[in-house]
Chains A and B, each alone.
Chain A
Amino acid sequence: MTKPIKGRTGMIEFRGVNKWFGTLNVLKDITLSVEPREVVVVCGPSGSGKSTLIRCINGLETIRDGDLVVDGQRLADPATNMTRLRTEIGFVFQSFNLYPHKTALENVTLAPIHVRKIPRAEAEKAGRELLAKVGLADKVNAYPAQLSGGQQQRVAIARCLGMRPKIMLFDEPTSALDPEMISEVLDVMVAVAEEGMTMMVVTHEMGFARKVAQRVVFMDAGAIVESGTPDEFFSHPKTDRSRAFLSKILRH
């Protein structure tokens, strides 16, 4: 059953990936390679499959056919230990999904202690440093309900970093935030990108894309329609669909 992977692969490699929800073809023949340390921004209209695309990478969604290789491991291969692979992939949710019964620090240390088996004292030291890094040194003992949306999302990013992942995936990380909180989250994401993290970010924040992304991928109706550098994509979109999309998000 184990099929060898042909050729060299990127950190994340989609090869002819298809996915259906019932009869709806939500991912159509996706081929995409993300190199180590690369930052790729995925954008497109709602329902275009961008969230589904990144949720496939850590197996929150499964694919019907095609190959998806992450960190050298084929997800479809029964020998691939998904639980293990997920420890290498941080995932930041639109709605944060912090553990409400745990403090900020406990949110950050829970998986390192129980999944990575890092000694508690060491995990807590690292957790405090990470919370300081995202600007929340004074919120270590706060519960999520006591934090603003922007603060919660920064804790969520610290929670991912606590696992020392090779890849970070962001699923519309600023879409649920009040406008004045967006930049504090984007600043943290820029810092993570500048440290050389491999990232895929579903977002419409063009400022972020221009600043750190090497590539923008535009999706529509489950397919990748266009991909290029942020400059190419935002200044000279090649397809009618991407022009129509950009005119809508730029107008406001």
Chain B
Amino acid sequence: MLENFSLRTIVEYLPLFGQGLVTTVWLSVLSFAGALAVGIVLAAMNLQRGWLFRVPAKAYIDAVRATPLLAQLYFLYFGLPRLGIILPELVVGILALSLNSGAYVAEIIRAGILSIPRGQVEAGVASGMTYVQRMRLVILPQAFKVTIPPLLGQAIVLVKDSALLSLIAVAELTRAGQLLASDRFMPAEGFITIAAFYLLLYYGLKGLAALSGRWLGLAGART
């Protein structure tokens, strides 16, 4: 297969790959922002003592984690129009990624908050802080530091998951590879090239994780 590997075709298609890469990056950024928003709300619901908020949050998280992302994507893509909600493919894609990744982010945030020792809560309570003050001044700043590395891990997963949006005709990176594969019957060129770009994104995020780790290590948060 590789004896007639055409670098020239790849170069020819580079603008398309470039556009795909840019689309993948910004839709991933938007989706991750959405996932953080969904995750924070779900984590807050899941940490309540009463069942009224906790049970729906748990059910949602379980449902998302138990079903394939592709099924969720199609569920929104074909399901929303039947409810009379017509959205561009790109918006459906970002929505699906946000809602999916949000469930995982929720568990990361919850674990981060629960990792803060009980004594920290008690110290806040004993000094007369309200629940909101305790969260804002004592718990969340500490939980934030613990959650950054796993959140960046989840961001890496999200970038790779965004490849599925090629199936609903979003012109992202994987779609560019598919186009090259089908237009010129050159699947090797198409998919090896996108693999290289994903690797690039991966190392970018990994570098960010390492930087944040070093920064957090210096911030004197160890007990």
- Please determine whether B221 and A101 come into contact, CB atoms closer than 8 angstroms: yes
Q: Which of A58, A90, A91, A101 neighbours the largest number of chain B CB atoms within 10 Å of its CB?
A: A101
- Residues of the A chain whose Cβ atoms lie less than 8 Å from the Cβ of B123: 93, 97-99
Give A76 Cβ to nearest chain B Cβ, in Å.
18
Count of chain B residues near A, Cβ 8 A = 22
Quick check: which of A139-147, A185-193, A220-228 contacts chain B, the rest being far away?
A139-147
Interface hits, B104-158 → A, CB 8 Å: 117, 119-120, 122-123, 125-130, 133, 137-138, 141-142, 145
From known contacts A93-B119, A97-B119, infer whether A83 and B137 are also in contact, taking CB-CB under 8 Å.
no
- CB <8 Å contact, B119 and A95: yes
**Would B120 and A163 count as touching, CB distance under 8 A?**
no
B127 touching A159 by the CB < 8 A rule? Answer: yes
Main secondary structure of the interface of B (DSSP, over half): helix
Does B52 lie at the interface of the complex (its beta carbon under 8 Å from any beta carbon of A)? no
Do A114 and B122 contact each other (CB < 8 Å), given the known contacts A87-B127, A100-B221? no
B50 at the interface (CB under 8 A from A): no
Q: Are A89 and B137 in contact (CB under 8 A)?
A: no
**A89-B125 Cα distance, complex, nearest whole Å:** 11
Taking A93-B119, A93-B123 as contacts, is the C-beta distance between A115 and B223 under 8 angstroms?
Answer: no
In Å, the complex CA distance between A63 and B120 comes to 22
Known: A99-B138, A101-B221, A143-B220. A91 touches B126 (CB 8 A): yes
A58 to B125, CA, bound (A): 9
Contacts of A110 in B (CB 8 A): 127, 137
Set A60, A95, A114, A144: member contacting B126, Cβ < 8 A? A60
- CB pair B129 A115 closer than 8 Å: yes
Q: For the complex, is B82 an interface residue (Cβ under 8 Å from A)?
A: no
Complex alpha-carbon distance, A184 and B129, angstroms: 29
B122 touches A60 (CB 8 A): yes
Residues in A with CB closer than 8 Å to B1 are: none
Q: Which residue of B lies closest to A146 (CB)?
A: B220
Can you name the residue of chain B whose Cβ is closest to the Cβ of A84?
B128
Q: Which of B119, B126, B129, B137 has the most CB of A within 10 A?
A: B126
Given contacts A86-B127, A111-B127, A160-B127, 15 further A-B contacts (CB under 8 A): A86-B125, A87-B127, A90-B126, A93-B122, A93-B123, A97-B120, A97-B123, A99-B123, A99-B138, A99-B142, A101-B142, A101-B220, A111-B129, A115-B127, A115-B133
Residues of A at the B interface (CB closer than 8 Å) are 58-60, 83-84, 86-87, 89-91, 93, 95, 97-101, 110-111, 114-115, 143-146, 159-160, 163
26 contacts between A and B (CB under 8 A): A83-B129, A86-B126, A86-B127, A87-B127, A93-B119, A93-B123, A97-B119, A97-B122, A98-B123, A99-B120, A99-B123, A99-B142, A100-B220, A101-B141, A101-B145, A101-B220, A110-B137, A111-B129, A115-B128, A143-B221, A145-B220, A145-B221, A145-B222, A145-B223, A159-B127, A160-B127
